[in-house]
Structure 1
């Protein structure tokens, strides 16, 4: 899959640097570029890019205002680039929908790493959408393709990756981690095996019969483990915002704004914790395990 990029920066040398990095790293193609925040609105809507790299300070309107206007009208992922070190400005940018913030001067390795992570995040979203479309099609009685043979090798191919993720997030010793894995395995069998739709409570009930544990206990264990994973990631992000594990799991398994909320709680900036989405977490694990 070739990703489409748009670069918005009033410095032509920055636009050329980004273009060269995208080309040389084989990340996709630059379909448009722009030097001011006002013209960028229509250019981005017309170009329909996958990823937009946008400067914070732009003529006409700044990058945050631009993203705020466009975020409900495009499926593009936004990456902000700036010389600013202001944590307040960076937080504001994240709250308005960016996925990553890159400091100038641009570091080639950092930009390539971030673009790869955003591409993986977009693939994850497409994977989740595919699950929804597949289950909806089978639920309505439509015929589909044969089940994937990957289901048969779940233990060999996916288990190590799922448990590595547990280890990276510091929950491998949690009782709920095993239940998360079991639920993920059941969902994988349902979606790729029979093609039927599923509801989490139904999967919990199926697992309950298999392991002779009541549904409420299973659900509580799973939620506690996922909450702990978010807390551990948020602490990691507070210490090292650019940590690879933080960047991978905070966007792949959680809504990033909720991880930011948890970080704000840790820093004493909010009295509210971030919220988890069990279904997104498990489907994210399945995607990462399938890579």
Structure 2
């Protein structure tokens, strides 16, 4: 069980880490280091459980949980708080908090709550496995699997149209899109380096493959425009997956009018690709 701690008091973070590690209650996959909470940083750590303080600077615990839930509804959220007012506790539960831990931190309470959460997660996974087995037995795929497969097919269809399906970086692009789509994270919220780190153990190599693949796609689209400016694929994707100015630059480069081609924007391409996939029927 992977646990992330969102707490502005470093001493509390250390206490919780000691309890988790000494009690073999899970793996600490990260903490905010006493800094304001960052939802996307937490999501990149892929925790099963988030321990979050009620009173946090910039964004309080309830707001944090609500935003976290908007991206990933399966993460278990445990609120750390001295609050006893019923209306505030009710507000926290409404936002998506699963359990409460009282301050000051108590070893027995933390251990008990985390063990209960671990059992809950295990039960949910067991039920999910049974559901998958049942659906496979009757020859159907679960709804989320069908949706994921359908979305992936739309992405592949577009990449194939611009001649990128054979590029090594094509599978990397699909991984990035799948991650953003699954976690419901806008591409604008992450840098290219962060995107690659989220889905690869070798992010720099992945970024190079993706950049080369997109450059190949740009060259293919530019060739289409040179041959037929009204080409259906050219008109559909020259300004959605790429900057049209960069496509024109690439076309001039192919014609021998320039010494360098168009520049690739990975985030522009990913954003455009995902938008186009959403429009595909």
TM-score between both structures, scaled by the size of structure 2: 0.48
Which structure has the larger Rg? 2
